[in-house]
Structure 1
Amino acid sequence: MIYCCNEHVELALDTVVDEKETFPILNKIPEGKQLSTACEYCENHAVYMVEN
């Protein structure tokens, strides 16, 4: 599972496809949890959760 911001969502999708060789699932993080979750590629708040 990868948490990412709007800027890095494409990178997260590509990472899941490359590493897991499966179709990624993109879910928006609920408003209440966005404030406490950071993007795994930068320090911005995560908006999406990408999983396989």
Structure 2
Amino acid sequence: MIYCCQEHVELALDIVVDEYETAPVIEKVEEEKKTCEYCQNEAEYVVAN
């Protein structure tokens, strides 16, 4: 799972597709505040396989 902000969602999608070769699942983050894995902004999405 990759937590990411709006700016980095495309990067997260590309990484999941490259690593797992499957269609990724994108969901809105509804948990407590998480941080984007690529910057320090608040994560809006979680991208998983």
Q: Percent identity?
A: 61
State the SS of the aligned residue for 2:18.
helix
Question: How many aligned positions are there?
Answer: 49
Corresponding residue for residue 8 of structure 2: 8
- Deviation, 1:39, is 0.2
TM-score of the superposed pair, with normalisation by structure 1: 0.89
Which among 41, 44, 50 is matched to residue 41 of structure 2? Answer: 44
Runs of 4+ in 1 over 6 A off after TM superposition: none
Structure 1 spans left out of the alignment, 5+ residues: none
Structure 2 spans left out of the alignment, 5+ residues: none
- For 1:4 and 1:15, the matched residues in 2 are separated by 12
TM-score of the superposed pair, with normalisation by structure 2: 0.94
Give RMSD over aligned pairs. Answer: 0.9
Corresponding residue for residue 18 of structure 1: 18
